[in-house]
DNA sequence: CCCTGATTCGC
DNA sequence: GCGAATCAGG
């Protein structure tokens, strides 16, 4: 059954829409097999489209941000995600997530913009994150600094190298 | 991938 | 007029 757009349904639609509800939410509330596309289509036909550009940040009201008092800085580097190979490393698919680690130097300072030719290109952090950077220390072995070169250019593992690898890698995770 | 609204177009 | 499919963006 498709009630179509009866007056009260349209009324509810207007109300909810102007209330700041998203199309999908409205569709859900109206029920009756109405999809968000239907809602949006109707909204446009009704001429009440705009209202700002809600999108994601809209969990409820869109126009005004309650300006939540943030007491929690974006710290917590988050769980180290695995890093896809960014630089040519003889040993690919290393489940290594190079994290800042306690380093003497300023590791992870170089960004894609500032990364120079002779700077270590060992990726630091999540490549999809804005926090992403590179080691940046002086590159000696290939494109990596001494330290990271050791990890990148891992000598072929022996039979039971598995444990050994995990061992040597642990400190980089 | 999740979500958002906007547009198109056959019905 | 309707809305699924598609597009464009976060």
- Split at pLDDT 50, 70, 90, the class of A103 is very low
Q: How far is CA A162 from CA A1, A71, A149, A152, A166, in A?
A: 62, 44, 19, 16, 6
d(CA A49, CA A117): 51
Residue A108 has pLDDT above 60, yes or no: yes
Give strand B nucleotides closer than 7 A to any protein Cβ: 3-8
Residue A94 has pLDDT above 90, yes or no: no
pTM of the model: 0.41
Percent of chain A residues past pLDDT 90, beyond the cut: 9
**Nucleotide in closest CA–C1' contact with A34:** C3
Closest to A25 (Cα-Cα) out of A1, A60, A50: A60
pLDDT in tens, A120-136: 878 776 666 666 777 88
Question: Does residue A133 sit within a domain?
Answer: yes
d(CA A87, CA A9): 57
- Give residue A154's pLDDT: 65
Look at chain A and report how many structural domains it folds into: 2
- Give residue A40's pLDDT: 94
Long-range contacts at A74-82 (CB < 8 A, ≥ 24 apart):
A77/A125, A77/A131, A78/A126, A78/A129, A80/A125, A80/A173, A81/A126
- Give residue A92's pLDDT: 44
pLDDT in tens, A32-76: 789 999 999 999 998 887 765 555 554 444 444 454 444 445 555
Which domain range does residue A40 map to?
7-46
Question: Does residue A146 sit within a domain?
Answer: yes
Residue A2 has pLDDT above 90, yes or no: no
Closest to A23 (Cα-Cα) out of A66, A55, A57: A55
Residue A47 (CA) to nucleotide C9 (C1'), in angstroms, measures 22
Question: Does residue A30 sit within a domain?
Answer: yes
Give strand C nucleotides closer than 7 A to any protein Cβ: 1-6, 9-10
Q: Compute the Cα dihedral for A32, A35, A36, A41 and give only its sign.
A: negative
Residue recorded with tokens 């596309």:
A37
Question: Does residue A27 sit within a domain?
Answer: yes
pLDDT in tens, A78-92: 555 554 545 554 444
**Residue A138 forms beta bridges with which residues?**
A119
Question: Does residue A28 sit within a domain?
Answer: yes
Question: Does residue A99 sit within a domain?
Answer: no
User: Which range (A80-89, A91-100, A145-154) has the least confidence?
Assistant: A91-100
Question: Does residue A164 sit within a domain?
Answer: no
- Give residue A69's pLDDT: 47
Number of H helices, E strands in chain A: 5, 2
- Give residue A35's pLDDT: 93
Question: Does residue A42 sit within a domain?
Answer: yes
Mean model confidence pLDDT for chain A: 68
Residue recorded with tokens 């080691």:
A135
């Amino acid at each position: 059954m498709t009630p179509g757009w009866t007056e009260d349904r349209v009324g509810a639609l207007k109300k909810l829409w102007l209330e700041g509800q998203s199309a999908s939410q409205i569709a859900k509330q109206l029920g009756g097999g109405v999809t968000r596309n239907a809602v949006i289509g109707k909204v446009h036909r009704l001429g009440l489209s705009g209202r700002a550009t809600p999108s994601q940040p809209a969990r409820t009201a869109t126009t005004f941000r309650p300006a939540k008092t943030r007491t929690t800085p974006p710290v917590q580097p988050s769980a180290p995600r695995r890093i896809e190979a960014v630089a040519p490393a003889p040993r690919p698919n290393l489940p290594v997530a190079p994290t800042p680690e306690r380093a003497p130097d300023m590791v992870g300072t170089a960004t894609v913009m500032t990364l120079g030719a002779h700077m270590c290109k060992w990726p630091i952090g999540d490549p999809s994150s804005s926090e992403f950077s590179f080691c940046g220390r002086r590159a000696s072995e290939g494109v990596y600094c001494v330290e990271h070169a050791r990890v990148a250019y891992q000598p072929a593992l022996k039979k039971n190298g598995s444990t050994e690898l995990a061992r040597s890698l642990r400190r980089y995770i």
